[in-house]
Amino acid sequence: MTDKAKWAWTTLFLSLLVLLPGIYFYFSSPTEPPPEPPPEVLTPEPPSPIAVLIAEDRCDLAYPQLTALDTIQHEPTAQAHLEFQRAFCERMLKKPDRAYDRLRDLDLPTLDDYRRFWIA
């Protein structure tokens, strides 16, 4: 064998020695896991009839229903929600003094900015 042939075989062998592991890892990469199923869609609760009346600016019909409800039977967040609805209706029915008192009595730190803006 000539020197050129030895050089060619050595170069070919070294090239294959370097390239074959790379080719192996490139083509034998593990398959990707199947995609995760999409999260379940959360459906909101339907609004209460009182909330629908308030949304339609029918506070004259919603306020008697709100006053007829017994808030003691509800959990604290629902009580606060009902009190806020009452305050909103009282404000819309031109009874701002009652509404302000009711808002002041609500112990919700998230309402502080709104309460200050509304009473101002």
Could you tell me the mean pLDDT of each successive run of 10 residues in the chain, 120 residues long? Answer: 85 86 79 82 84 90 86 76 87 86 76 68
Q: Which residues contact 67 (CB under 8 A, 6 or more apart)?
A: 86
* Residue 78 located in a structural domain: yes
Q: Please check whether residue 56 lies inside any domain of the structure.
A: yes
Residues 56 and 22 in one domain: no
Whether 83 is in a domain gets the answer yes
Same domain, 60 and 106: yes
Instruction: Give the per-residue pLDDT at 115.
Output: 67
Q: Are residues 71 and 111 in the same domain?
A: yes
Q: What is the pLDDT of residues 12-38, one digit of tens each?
A: 888 888 888 888 888 776 777 888 888
In a domain, 40, yes or no: no
Q: How far apart are CA 103 and CA 86, in angstroms?
A: 9
| Confidence at residue 71, expressed as pLDDT on a 0 to 100 scale | 65
Distance CA 119, CA 73 (A): 29
Nearest to residue 53, comparing CAs of 94, 9, 86, 98? 86
Is 87 part of a structural domain of the chain?
Answer: yes
Structural domains in the chain (count): 2
What's the token pair of residue 73?
């039977």
Q: Please tell me the predicted confidence (pLDDT) of residue 110.
A: 66
Boundaries of domain holding 91: 49-119
Residue 54 domain-assigned? yes
41 is a domain residue: no
Kindly state whether residue 34 falls inside one of the protein's structural domains. no
Pair (12, 65) in one structural domain: no
Say if pTM beats, i.e. exceeds, 0.85: no
Q: How far apart are CA 87 and CA 80, in angstroms?
A: 10
